[in-house]
């Protein structure tokens, strides 16, 4: 695996890493995706954020019988009740509101990979002993066939998809250097470590550990090159997808919940100025869940 892309390992890789490090230091960045134990924090002002499902609403009423539901902007943590999709909504809510508080999920959905087990009792103790994981989202800038620009943030992945029966033809560029002239496929995605266990894994992409400083570039049903499985890229790189012959082969771009039609070019990079903090019970940390996912029988 190469750590630098371009004309030489230092010219492109070294300078890009120095620039990335400078941006991260300016933003108070402490590591790519650090996770581990921390000094316990006495969280006492939770904001409960429940999905519309019956299970989540029942849990919300049970919790409100014991704990006060603080206003989001006065809370010191957000407690999400639902499934993984609702957890993703909660994290986007914190990003949109520019709130630097952690999110603690309790599973009232289906899979609940990012969620902790639901229990109404001892909430403050669980919050205080929880293990921390930090996630930096992806920043996507997309340009459509009319030249209009769109921007969005993705916590899981940024994806390109064909819009019709015609396969997409996509050029892949990493740090300004063309790495693949024509990827013929249903689509392609760039996933964060947190998102690597979601759609990326369904597309046969790798599970990327938190703290690895890597992103997963994964093709979706590739036709040519037939045996290309994707690539692992350092988190500080910039990835660009260019859709070819878009009049005949239209392509859409998605960043988590946001979708943009008839795109021609998409640029993606990690947004080191923004960070999401997830709290997990120590018995099943996010790192442990990702490890277990790789040994599922």
Catalytic residues: 84
Q: What is the CA radius of gyration of the chain?
A: 20
In whole angstroms, how far apart are CA 258 and each of 61, 140, 153, 215? 31, 10, 9, 20
Q: Where are the alpha helices (DSSP H) in 179-284?
A: 199-202
Bin 163: left if φ > 0, else alpha if -120 < ψ < 50, else beta.
Answer: alpha
Q: State both tokens at 148.
A: 């209009």
Of the candidates 5, 8, 9, the residue with the CA atom closest to the CA atom of residue 177: 5
Sheet holding 149-154, edge to edge: 149-154, 138-144, 263-270, 238-243, 168-174, 177-185
Beta bridge partners of 161: 187, 252
Residue 255 has phi, psi (to 5 degrees) of: -125, 95
Q: Is the dihedral of CA 53, 294, 290, 217 positive or negative?
A: negative
State CA 61 to chain mean position distance: 30
């Amino acid at each position: 695996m190469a750590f630098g892309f371009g004309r030489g390992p230092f010219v492109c890789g070294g300078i890009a890493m120095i620039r990335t490090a400078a941006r991260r230091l300016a933003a108070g960045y402490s590591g790519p995706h650090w996770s581990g134990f921390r000094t316990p924090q006495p969280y006492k002002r939770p904001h409960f954020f429940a999905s519309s499902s019956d299970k989540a609403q029942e849990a919300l009423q049970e919790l409100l019988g014991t704990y006060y539901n603080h206003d989001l902007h006065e809370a010191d943590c957000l407690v999400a009740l639902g499934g993984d999709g609702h957890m993703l909504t909660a994290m986007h809510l914190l990003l949109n509101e520019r709130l630097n508080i952690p999110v603690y999920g309790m599973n009232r959905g289906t899979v609940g990979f990012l969620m902790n087990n639901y229990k109404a009792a001892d909430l403050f103790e669980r919050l205080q002993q929880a293990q921390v994981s930090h996630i930096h989202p992806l920043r996507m800038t997309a340009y459509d066939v009319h030249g209009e620009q769109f921007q969005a943030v993705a916590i899981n992945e940024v994806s390109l998809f064909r819009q019709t029966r015609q396969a997409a033809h996509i050029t892949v560029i990493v740090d300004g250097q063309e790495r693949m002239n024509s990827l013929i496929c249903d689509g392609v995605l760039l996933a964060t470590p947190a998102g690597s266990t979601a759609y990326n894994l369904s597309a046969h992409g790798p599970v990327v550990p938190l703290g690895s400083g890597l992103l997963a570039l994964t093709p979706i049903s590739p036709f040519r090159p037939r045996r290309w499985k994707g690539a692992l890229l350092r988190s500080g790189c910039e990835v660009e997808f260019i859709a070819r012959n878009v009049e005949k082969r239209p392509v859409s771009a998605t960043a988590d919940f946001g979708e943009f039609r008839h795109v021609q070019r998409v640029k993606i990079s990690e947004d080191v100025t923004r960070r999401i903090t997830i709290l997990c019970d120590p018995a099943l940390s996010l790192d442990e869940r990702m490890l277990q996912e790789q040994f599922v029988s």
